[in-house]
Structure 1
Amino acid sequence: MSAVALADLTTFRLGGPARAVVEARTETELVDAVAHADAAGEPLLLVAGGSNLLVADEGFPGTVVRVATSGVRFGSEDVCSGSFVTAAAGEDWEAFVATVVARGCAGVEAMAGIPGSVGATPVQNVGAYGQEVSQTLASVRTYDRVDRRVRTLAVGDLDLGYRTSLLKRSRVALAGTHAESRYVVLDVTFQLVLAGGVSSPVAYPELARALGVAVGERSTVAEVRAAVLALRGSKGMVLDAADHDTWSAGSFFTNPVLTVDEAGVLPAGAPRFPAGTDAAGRPLVKTSAAWLIDHAGFAKGHGAPGPATLSTKHTLALTNRGGARTADVLALAREIADGVERAYGVRIVNEPVLVGCSL
């Protein structure tokens, strides 16, 4: 164990010291580290890629477990049921996408370049360019910190929604009043399509234009992955230590999901996409947080020359220009959320997990 600044473990490069950091390279080490912290009543924070965390400047008053498990295992494969692929929670997501694309499997190629680990993807139900993890997820093996046992949760058990899941919402106070995740992801199994390298239907207009195909048509998984990496790179959404636009947590705000009545207050030009129904059966509409931010008067680079600004490439990313503190990012986030609410009556909310801080 050693004292480490969380700034060294997150893509925002922000956050004060942890009381202690333990690295878990095997599943046994991961479970043992979690169980030990729980038995000691120690607050616990799990960190893998660190791409979806904003940690307080004061740091974290407990143990940080670095999830460094790795490995990709291909199971049964046939044309009808596809390819079942299991990856360790600590496996790098982009490396996983590259591996399955090289094998010709389809289903995750449009999510190339997303920073972070495989284990985080079902927690957030990660998605990009018309694909979501929920479309190919088969099951998740977890360590249940309440029952103190390993449990496998099928996709139907996970209650997946837009950037949410049972894994994200199931939080318990195991150390005082500090609410923590009940489930620790150990590995994730996907059911991918075996189509000889042919991609899933391209669902996102911007990606379709980049590929020179119509929405609903197909390309190859390799071409889709390459096009997505180029698009993400142009928006500062592929990690690059030399580019401060990537010193971020990616998209900071989620796209608002509204009732039809709530969406009725938006200007005629605001994007609107069907988003299913709520618990009462009322239709829902998803709009674009980036559009709201931009049209509320917050342009790319807003906040310059301050230490925290909107990305110069994409209005949905808040960035650390090199000398920022977490407090600077929070102040910018509040300014933008308040401005959008004043302009449109819609409160946009953060996507990254806030540790020891709040908006």
Structure 2
Amino acid sequence: MFQKLEFMISERVLVTGANGLLGTNTVIELLNQNYLVRGLVRDTNKYKGPNHSNLELFQGDILNISDLKKATLNCQYVINCAAITDQSEFDYRMYHSVNVQGVKNILSVAVRNNVKKIIQVGTANEFGYGGLNDLGDETKKMKPPYKKSLYARSKKNAYHFLKSKTDDIDIVFINPTFMIGSYDSKPSSGRIILMGLKKKLVFCPPGGKSFVCVKDVARGVVSALKCGDNKASYLMAHENLSFLEFLKIMRNQTKGRFRIILIPKWVLICLGCFGSLLRFFRIKTNLSMENMKSLSINSFYSNRKSCEQLYINYTPIKEGIKDCVKWFEVQT
């Protein structure tokens, strides 16, 4: 699992949200590169990654200043992977409390404890997407329907806050697209893989996304510790695929026999209307007009900047699917 290196790195890195999909993979990549790692989690029993002599799990919360003071002590870097990503929340204050206020807490404590650099993990949807002939990049402004997404809005607000503080401390922004891979313990994006493993019918929306292996994103996060420029944002993206193309790759990798059923856009819009009605009555649901519209567009991005400045060689998404399948099979 962990590679031997001929030199020792004595720098300590705090990883918040260390039990999440990207958080766990980032912890593993840091350990592979012989960093000392402190993983901040709300419940140490929920950490599913491997144990290691250079890993210290710290139970705490980014909303608790006292926890953060202790967690950042003697750390040279902070990688913030902690976030509320659940698309079923209907109250923006839920996202703001963690994705914005938590970030403000991290910034305050990091400056006080003389941390060298913060790596803030956001989302690609903070930037404008494009089509295959005009990919989204770090220069393009956020577009609908993500402008109305409570999650994306909270990440964008955190970005603007931190961007205003880059004279106080070096801050680098990592913006992943749709990540696939192992250690998806919630699960989050891995739910689409579970559908392929467990369902005979998988419904396919008309849009598409940029898919990326989570291991590649973790490599980008760790590379940003040394190579990332202050104030810079880096989109971590790879294969721009329609959902139909992705599901066909997934079916091959899972050896699944599921049938793919195409859903027309008008059906998704109807579901979005129904979801908005449920949310009006304060019922939590993943159905919303914004979420359904996002499934109907091609949300494609370029990885050029991360390739050139973070030196990332991206892996075919089929490898991320394989890793995810193997991990779920072990868990069950």
In the superposition, the TM-score normalised over structure 1's length comes to 0.26
Higher relative contact order (CA 8 A, sep 6+): 2
- Hey, which of these two has a bigger chunk of strand by percent? 1
Q: Which has the higher helix share?
A: 2
Larger radius of gyration: 1
